[in-house]
Structure formats: structure tokens, C-alpha cells
Amino acid sequence: MSRSTSHASASGDRTNFYDDITNKIIGELQQGRVPWVQPWGGPATKAQLALPKNASTDRTYSGINVLILWGAVIQHGFSGQSWLTFRQALALGGHVRKGERGTTVVYADRFVPDDAKQRAAQSGGEARAIPFLKRFTVFNTHQCDDLPEQIATTAPPPPAGTIEPRVEALIKGTGIEVRIGGNRAFYDVSEDYVQVPPPAAFFEPFNWHRTALHELGHASGHASRLNRDLSGSFGSRKYAFEELVAEINAAFCCAALGIVPTVRHADYIASWLEVLREDNRAIVRAASLASKAADYLLAFLAKAGDETSSGRRAA
């Protein structure tokens, strides 16, 4: 196969992937389900609230793979959020049950071809990296037999009484100014502060924490932090995209901290649908940026030693 044919094939594979994922999530939103808000809820789902992870390496999945795997947990009613490749299950002494179908996830990166390196060395220029997308199949541990007990067993839920203090410790650790008061939640880009109504204004206390994490998600994009584009005006596609990033970030943070988030109202879902229909890569980019935001925020809790457990944007 020629290099041009191979490149075209890879490009087509990426396009098909973006279409597949975007169409699936549009379908979920049209039915009133928000896959990144409460993917562990409902009578058919037995899994604990958590970010999906690889049971062999103990690494959590990120970006669009989180949404893909959460969707599989919901669809099939799996009992856990842990995943393995076919070979990893065998290496652990177990095996995937006959007839089980895996879930396709994706690894995206860039590489520099050897010939590009050689040309760059000869010309004194810079070698250009080429993006690639690799799909691979994973199986939930619920689909496997004979795995070691510590892998096959679902982790227990977070201890009672540790959720709210951990969120408060995270907020303190970020150093971002959080003002409590008023009747609106927003992030003020120009002054770089978050404002959230007092917890008593919310029907459920956990909703305050989820809302604060949403606004902190916006704040993570400040030029002094992750430097995302926060210039979108209210009602614009750029604004809706950033709201999508902040909301998925809040879902990721909630999953890591053991908080069940609430569902956004219909206006938000409508704006997300417009973004997704206009750009089939939007959900992949939004999930990737949301993972980076969540990792950024959660790292402050880790730095603090997790002591408690041992322009303006409208929300």
C-alpha cells in the first residue's frame, strides 16, 4: 500500500470514529440522557460511581474513552468500571467469556516518520509530526472469568463523610478565589474568580459541589493555567463548546470524588446538540480538554496529601 493510500485510510478511519461517537452521543442527548452526568444511574446499572480504569495497569482512561466506557456500562449493566484487553485478561490468569463482545476505545497521538527526520536533519528544518488514531478493544471485568479476586471485585464506595471535605480541600488547594453568595453561579474571566450561591440555596448539598467544580472547570482554562480559549460570547458556538468542556470536567471530577451529579436543563442540552451536529470532532476535543481540566484540579487534592480523607460566565 502506498504512503498516500495509507494516509487516506488513516484519515478515513479517524473520520468514521468521530462520526460514530458523535452520532451515538447525539442520540443519547435527543432521548434526554446526558452520558457524562450520571452514567452509573438507573436500575440496570450495578457499577459503583468511578472513572473507568484499566484493571491490569491501574491507569484511568481519559477523554472520549471515559464517555465510551461509561456508555458501555449503562448499555450492558456491567457491575464494575474496570477494563482489560483480551491479552491482559489471559496474562492475569483469567479469560474473556466465550461470546462476549468488546468495547472499542481509541489511542490518539503523533509520530515523526524516519524519512521526515532524515529530511529535517539534511535541511536543518523541523520534522513534522503526523497524527494517528489507533483503535483497540477492551472488555469489562464483568465479562471475564477466573481473574484474581482483587481485580474481579468491585472497589467499595468512598467512606461516608469524606466527600464534601475533599471537595473543599480541592477548592482551597487550587488557590482560585471562590466567592460564596448571590443567586447565580459563574466564572469571571477578567477578574479570575468563581462565584457560587451558598449551599443552603441548593436543594441538595452535593449540587453545590458539582456546580463549584463546573465553574472551577472554567477557571482551569485561564491563561495562567491551561490557557483555553474563553473568549466566546453568550450564545455563540465557542461559548457552548466551553460550557461542554466545563460540564464534562465536572462529571469527571464528581466521579473521582464519589459525587453523583445532577442533570443540566434543556437549554444546555440544546446548545450542546448544535455544537455536536456542526462539528463531528467537537465531543472528542471537549472530552480531551475536560480530562486535562479534571486532572489539573484533582492534582491539587493529591498535593495537599488528601488530608480530609486519611469576561463572566453564567453556570
Kindly report, residue by residue over 68-87, the tens digit of the pLDDT: 999 888 888 787 899 999 99
User: What local confidence, expressed as pLDDT, does residue 308 receive?
Assistant: 44
Residues 196, 214: Cα–Cα separation, whole Å? 10
Q: In this structure, is the dihedral angle defined by the CA atoms of residues 290, 295, 300 and 306, taken in order, positive or negative?
A: positive
Mean pLDDT across 273-283: 91
Length of the chain: 315
Whether the Cβ atoms of residue 131 and residue 270 lie closer than 8 Å to each other: no
User: What local confidence, expressed as pLDDT, does residue 194 receive?
Assistant: 96
Q: Which of 261, 92, 68 minimizes the C-alpha distance to 167?
A: 261
Cβ-based neighbours of 2, under 8 Å, separated by 6 or more: none
156 pLDDT tier (thresholds 50, 70, 90) = low
User: What local confidence, expressed as pLDDT, does residue 32 receive?
Assistant: 77
230 half-sphere exposure, CB direction, 13 A CA radius: 24
Residues forming beta bridges with residue 106, ordered by sequence position: 135
Alpha helices in 100-152 (DSSP H): 114-123, 149-152
Whether the Cβ atoms of residue 193 and residue 171 lie closer than 8 Å to each other: no
Convert the pLDDT of each residue in 124-155 to its tens digit: 777 777 777 788 999 999 899 999 988 876 54
Look at 177 and 115; give whichever has higher pLDDT.
177
Mean pLDDT across 3-27: 69
Ramachandran quadrant class, 231 (left: phi over 0; alpha: psi -120 to 50; beta: rest): alpha
Query: By three-state DSSP, how is residue 191 classified?
Result: coil
Q: CA geometry: angle at 293 spanning 291 and 298, to 5°?
A: 95
Q: 158-162, 178-182, 196-200: which range is least confident on average?
A: 158-162
pLDDT at 164 over 60: yes
| Mean pLDDT score of the chain | 82
Alpha helices in the chain (DSSP H): 3-30, 64-76, 86-91, 114-123, 149-152, 163-174, 205-220, 237-257, 266-278, 282-303
Query: By three-state DSSP, how is residue 117 classified?
Result: helix
Mean pLDDT across 234-263: 87
pLDDT at 159 over 80: no
Task: For residue 261, give the C-alpha cell.
Answer: 451529579
Distance of CA 312 to the CA centre of its chain: 24
What's this model's pTM, rounded to 2 decimal places?
Answer: 0.72
User: What local confidence, expressed as pLDDT, does residue 241 receive?
Assistant: 95
Q: 168-172, 204-208, 286-290, 305-309: which range is least confident on average?
A: 305-309
